Amino acid sequence: MAASEFETVNDDGFVFKVRKRRLEEINVKPLAVKEGQRHEDQEPVEEQSVKLEKKAKRLMTLKAMYEAELEAWKKLEEAAAPPVPDEPSSEKSPSSPEHDLHAEFLKELKIEVENVEEYIKRLQDHIVIAESTYKLCVKEMREDANFRPADEIVLALTGQAISDDVIATQASLGSSVSLSDV
């Protein structure tokens, strides 16, 4: 069947496709004119009942089609979502082998987590000790008379500092060569 054999029909809010009628099937209703008023002739009761039966049949077909689609969606939803247990897990027998396996596994995991926490605490203690040792070494180096921070040495060597700084830097490095000799 080609798509051109169907037409869309809107019947009291129900939209559906029906086969197009042939010209022979279409009954042209003559208009009766009485005293200047136009009105259509009434259809016979049999034709009305036939139309109602066809309409009911189409609606029942649509209803069955939509119900089948709804059932398919419900089955898909049930397959996608795991069923929710009706009973709480505390009501299960604690002596079941499955429960024992889960409890044992959870205990092992808890012990492992506690070991990792202890390791992290020890590591943090080592970090604190290393930081304090580093700060102490830096403090001792700065207190030393010959120590100059690296940034001051770089500035002195590039000629960006005053001449007193250059001399002091050279003295701290133990060099007898001046920058002008280089």
pLDDT at residue 125 in the model? 93
pLDDT tens for the chain, residues 1 to 182? 565 788 888 888 888 888 887 665 566 555 555 555 555 556 677 888 899 999 999 999 999 999 999 999 998 888 887 666 666 555 555 567 778 888 899 999 999 999 999 999 999 999 999 999 999 988 888 777 566 667 777 777 776 645 555 555 555 555 555 445 54
| Integer Cα distance of 45 and 52 in angstroms | 11
| Integer Cα distance of 79 and 177 in angstroms | 86
Q: Give the model confidence (pLDDT) of 12-49 as tens digits.
A: 888 888 888 766 556 655 555 555 555 555 667 788 88
Quick one: which of 18, 12, 121, 115 has its CA closest to 61?
A: 18
Neighbours of 172 (CB within 10 A): 16
* Tokens read off for 54: 């066809």
For the chain, the structural domain boundaries read 3-28+43-80, 138-182
165-174: long-range pairs with CB below 8 Å, 24+: 171/146, 172/146, 172/147, 172/148
Given a contact cutoff of 8 angstroms between Cβ atoms, the answer to whether 147 and 172 are in contact is yes
What DSSP character marks residue 174? T
Q: Virtual CA dihedral for 104, 110, 115, 117, nearest 10 degrees?
A: 170
What DSSP character marks residue 17? E
| Integer Cα distance of 23 and 168 in angstroms | 115
Q: What's this model's pTM, rounded to 2 decimal places? A: 0.28
